[in-house]
């Protein structure tokens, strides 16, 4: 296993993406975060095509739902239907608390679903918890 | 064990020591009101599919989290995973594999079959407690679980 | 046979009569009788079914006078023709001797009235009554139509408002989150590093943003009441109260609150709403406590088809002039430094209660505590264990 954990962060809101990256940077475990702002770029990254030919396979995907061009649900569905990618853990990280969205994501195979809190302190806590669980306790496929 | 009507956490574990430790760790954190344990893969499947011994269980209250060991009598953990994650009625239940196995192929197979996460049981007691506590905290407090069975879900705004 | 219509000395609207009569002299006598009574009669006299049909198709008549038996058909058959042509013209039988059973039967079948030919004095009265009846029916139909229109308009307007409230608060949350998060970050990272004015500006910005977030959440919660489409089910209020007390456990212990709960019924409701309702009321009782040890008493009594609930506290009480105001959304009686909150709790309670067909009000005296009372329709369990609910008027025009 390589030294730094690789995270693909898919979020179209630069302010949120920025916050998330800042929190991830505070972890004792070094992480290499790649951020893309829409669903199509996310899939290109994962397929290592186009501008992302040099991309490396992430260990974890943090995926927002409401994205331009291809929304998070479509990305999730494609990833989980692809035998090359379906073992990649996908954590949905979105503002939506709607039970309908939550249920739908699990149906599509999301590993985990975390709602973005409105409060700054809780937001930090949530991101920290995600990083802490998936890289501190869980075992991930190589 | 508690009434198996509204179970928060289902433990699938045949080793009595591990079961004891896990229960203790979870209870200490007051993470869940109802923790139910089954000892083999067959019982786990009956529980989740509301059949056999558990035919009176309601589909409306699937457990919020399943902690699944891999080495089980009657039906292995991987077989349980396959059955549960392939059925649209039960697919959404969060299943975290909690196993002593260090085999890479078990890890890969689990994720491929749809396990939500995979945790290797530490040998050390304190570390074991710590990992159970953190796992419980993440999956019960941070993670949003699907509210109910897709077949019986009430209309949502 | 056609009779020329004649002018009448009395100025009244023309009375258009279709006379189904085979005897010309009888027809003449009837028309004369009506003219004598002051009607300006324009009459068409016919005696066959085809003629009746033809006339009804061509002209509007105010009233039909029909003999019971004509050589070619029964006078009552004219009623069928009237109905065929979708008219509501009243028919009065004007006939020779008729036994009372037959007469009643004819009225049952739809004749407005019957008048005997040797008692023609009654004819005018009968015609007047028939005309009045038609007028009333038309008026009622018109009023009902207007009412239906107004209800539809109101429903649409309500729906628009609710949607607006929901969308506005929902869509506003996102950019607000940005403002709140980054002003807070600014505050944390740059506190003391810029000048004191900057510190103050930033803290005002943070306060404004956080308050707006809370307001939006409250507004969203308020607009969500009744929108989640949950079918009411038998809810044990005692267990709902247990849940509320568990939620408020820390605060209740902290302030030494005594909660007395009398036996409470099972009602037909959305359990989540019941918990919300009591949590707001008990939370308020706790928040607006007086110097003495807070005591809260919850009870219920059955009054006919309703349950009357009371949540009584010994807190600071509410003045007479404010008793209606407290249920208005965002209405507060105190400053934010005195008591926190946005003034939405009671508005939510009111919405929940009214959505379930009940009423809510408060009995209170400043300095002597408050008794919040509300009604809920009773659900009655029958022997089979099923429940019937007594539905009070539900005025919710929005069906979802």
ipTM: 0.91
**What distance in Å separates the CA atoms of residue B93 and residue B63, rounded to the nearest whole number?**
7
Range of the domain at A33: 5-136
In the stretch 5-64 of chain B, residues with CB closer than 8 A to chain A read none
> B156 lies in a domain?
no
Residue A141 lies in a domain: no
Which positions in chain A touch B119 (Cβ < 8 Å)?
A: 137-139
For residue B84, tell me if it sits in a domain: yes
pLDDT in tens, chain A (142 residues): 456 899 999 999 988 999 999 999 988 888 999 999 999 999 999 999 999 999 999 999 999 998 988 899 999 999 999 999 999 999 999 998 888 889 999 999 999 999 999 888 999 999 999 999 999 999 999 8
Could you tell me if residue B103 is inside a domain? yes
In the sheet that holds C63-66, the strands lie side by side as C40-46, C14-20, C63-66, C91-95, C113-116
Whether B157 sits inside 8 A of C227 (CB atoms) is yes
Domain presence at residue A63: yes
Q: Which chains would you list as touching B if contact means 3+ CB atom pairs under 8 Å?
A: A, C
Nearest CA in chain B to C231: B154
Residues paired with C234 in a beta bridge: C268
Residue range C46-63, pLDDT digits in tens: 988 888 888 888 888 999
Please report the number of interchain residue pairs, chain B to chain C, with beta-carbon separation below 8 angstroms.
13
> Could you tell me which residues come within 8 angstroms of residue C200 by beta carbon, excluding any fewer than 6 positions away?
none
pLDDT of residue C380: 53
Q: Which residues from chain B sit within 8 angstroms of residue A106, using beta carbons?
A: 91-92, 94, 146
End-to-end Cα distance, chain B: 36
- Residue B117 and residue A129: Cβ atoms within 8 Å? no
Say which range, A54-68, B7-21, C73-87, has the weakest mean pLDDT: C73-87
CA–CA separation, C342 and C352 (whole Å) = 18
Residue A19 lies in a domain: yes
Instruction: Give this prediction's pTM.
Output: 0.64
Contacting residues for A104 by C-beta, under 8 A, at least 6 apart: A73
Distance CA C95, CA C77 (A): 14
**Structural domain span for residue B44:** 9-142
Q: Which pair of structure tokens corresponds to residue C67? A: 């003999």
Mean pLDDT of chain C: 84
Domain count, chain A: 1
B157 CB within 8 Å of a chain C CB: yes
**Counted domains in chain B:** 1
Q: What average pLDDT does this structure show over B121-129? A: 90
Highest average pLDDT, of C202-211, C212-221, C329-338, comes from: C202-211
Asked, for residue A25, whether it belongs to a domain, the answer is yes
Q: Which helix (H) or strand (E) holds B117?
A: strand B117-120
Q: What DSSP assignment string belongs to C289-355?
A: --SSPPEEEEEEEEETTEEEEEEEE-SS---GGGTTGGGSTT--SS-TTTS-S-S-HHHHHHHHHHH
- Lowest model confidence (mean pLDDT) among A57-71, B101-115, C118-132, C148-162: C148-162
Name the minimum distance, in Å, from the CA of A109 to any CA of chain C. 26
- Provide the CB-side half-sphere exposure for C79 (13 A, CA): 18
CATH number for position B133: 3.40.50.2300
Using pLDDT thresholds of 50, 70 and 90, give the confidence band for residue C379.
low
CATH of the domain at A68: 3.40.50.2300
CA distance A65 to C317: 48
CA atoms within 13 A on the CB side of A62: 30
- DSSP per residue, B119-155: EEPPSSHHHHHHHHHHHHIIIIIISPPP-S-TTTPPP
Q: Touching A: which chains, 3+ CB pairs < 8 A?
A: B, C
Q: Is B4 inside a domain boundary? A: no
Q: Which strand (E) or helix (H) includes residue C199?
A: helix C196-224
Whether residues A113 and B144 touch (CB distance < 8 A) is answered with: yes
Query: Per-residue pLDDT for C319 more than 80?
Result: yes
Query: Is there a contact between A103 and B147 if contact means CB atoms under 8 Å apart?
Result: yes
Query: Does a structural domain hold residue B87?
Result: yes
**Is B124 in CB contact (< 8 Å) with chain A?**
no
In tens, the pLDDT along B53-102 reads: 998 888 888 899 999 999 999 999 999 999 999 999 999 999 999 999 99
Query: What span, in angstroms and rounded, lies between the C-alpha atoms of C30 and C36?
Result: 10
- A105 vs C250, more confident: A105
Mutate to test the interface with C, among A11, A26, A118, A122 (most CBs of C within 10 A): A118
Rounded Cα gap, residues A37 and A14, in angstroms: 8
Q: Is residue A111 part of a domain?
A: yes
* C8 CB-side CA count, 13 A: 19
What backbone torsions phi and psi does residue B96 show, to the nearest 5 degrees? -110, 120
Higher pLDDT, C73 or A59: A59
CA distance to partner chain B, nearest, from residue A37 (Å)? 23
């Amino acid at each position: 296993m390589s030294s730094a954990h690789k995270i693909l962060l898919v979020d179209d809101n630069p302010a949120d993406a920025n916050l998330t990256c800042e929190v991830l940077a505070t972890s004792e475990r070094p992480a290499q975060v790649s951020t893309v702002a829409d669903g199509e770029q996310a899939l290109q990254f994962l397929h290592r095509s186009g501008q992302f030919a040099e991309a490396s396979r992430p260990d974890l995907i943090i995926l927002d739902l409401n994205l331009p061009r291809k929304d998070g649900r479509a990305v999730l569905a494609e990833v989980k239907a692809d035998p090359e990618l379906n073992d990649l853990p996908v954590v949905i990280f979105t503002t939506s608390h709607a039970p309908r969205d939550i249920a739908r994501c699990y149906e599509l195979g999301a590993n985990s679903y975390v709602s973005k809190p409105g409060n700054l302190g809780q937001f930090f806590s949530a991101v920290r918890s995600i990083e802490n669980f998936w890289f501190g306790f869980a075992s991930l496929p190589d | 064990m508690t009434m198996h009507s509204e179970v928060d956490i289902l433990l699938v574990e045949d080793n009595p020591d591990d079961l004891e430790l896990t229960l203790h760790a979870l209870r200490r954190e007051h993470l869940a009101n109802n923790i139910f344990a089954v000892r083999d893969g067959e019982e786990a499947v009956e529980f989740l599919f509301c059949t056999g011994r558990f035919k009176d269980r309601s589909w409306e209250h699937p457990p919020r989290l399943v902690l699944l060991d891999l080495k089980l009598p009657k039906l292995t953990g991987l077989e349980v995973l396959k059955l549960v994650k392939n059925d649209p009625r039960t697919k959404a239940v969060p299943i975290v594999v909690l196993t002593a196995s260090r085999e890479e192929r078990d890890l890969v197979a689990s994720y491929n079959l749809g396990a939500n996460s995979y945790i290797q049981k530490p040998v050390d007691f304190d570390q074991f407690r710590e990992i159970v506590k953190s796992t419980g905290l993440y999956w019960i407090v941070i993670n949003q679980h699907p509210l109910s069975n897709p077949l019986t879900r009430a209309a949502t705004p | 046979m056609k009779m020329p219509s004649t002018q009448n000395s009395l100025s009244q609207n023309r009375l258009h009569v279709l006379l189904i009569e085979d005897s010309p002299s009888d027809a003449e006598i009837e028309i004369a009788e009506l003219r004598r009574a002051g009607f300006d009669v324009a009459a068409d006299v016919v005696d066959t079914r085809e003629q009746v049909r033809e006339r009804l198709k061509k002209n509007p008549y105010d009233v039909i006078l029909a003999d019971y038996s004509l050589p070619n058909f029964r006078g009552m058959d004219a009623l069928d023709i009237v109905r065929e042509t979708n008219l509501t013209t009243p028919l009065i039988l004007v006939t020779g001797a008729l036994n009372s059973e037959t007469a009643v039967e004819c009225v049952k079948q739809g004749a407005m009235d019957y008048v005997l030919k040797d008692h023609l004095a009654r004819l005018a009265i009968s015609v007047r009554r028939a005309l009045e009846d038609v007028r009333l029916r038309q008026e009622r139909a018109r009023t009902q139509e207007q009412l239906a229109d107004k209800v539809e308009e109101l429903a649409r307007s309500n729906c628009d408002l609710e949607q607006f409230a929901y969308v506005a608060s929902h869509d506003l949350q996102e950019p607000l989150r940005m403002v709140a998060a980054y002003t807070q970050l600014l505050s944390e990272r740059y506190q003391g590093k810029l000048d004191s004015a900057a510190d103050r500006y930033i803290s005002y910005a943070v306060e404004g943003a956080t308050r707006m977030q809370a307001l939006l959440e409250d507004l969203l919660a308020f607009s969500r009441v009744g929108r989640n489409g949950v079918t009411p089910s038998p809810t044990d209020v005692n267990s709902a109260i247990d849940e509320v007390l568990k939620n408020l456990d820390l605060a209740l212990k902290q302030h030494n609150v005594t909660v007395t709960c009398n036996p409470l019924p099972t009602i037909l409701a959305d359990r989540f709403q019941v918990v919300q309702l009591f949590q707001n009321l008990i939370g308020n009782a706790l928040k607006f406590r007086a110097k003495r040890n807070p005591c809260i008493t919850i009870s219920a009594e059955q009054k006919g088809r309703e349950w009357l609930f009371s949540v009584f506290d010994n807190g600071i009480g509410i003045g007479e002039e404010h008793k209606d105001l407290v249920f208005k959304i965002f209405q507060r009686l105190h400053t934010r430094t005195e008591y926190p909150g946005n003034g939405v709790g009671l508005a939510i309670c009111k919405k929940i209660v009214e959505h379930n067909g009940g009423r809510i009000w408060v009995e209170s005296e400043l300095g002597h505590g408050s008794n919040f009372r509300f009604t809920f329709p009773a659900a009655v369990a029958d022997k089979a264990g099923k429940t019937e609910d007594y539905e009070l008027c539900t005025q919710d025009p929005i069906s979802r």
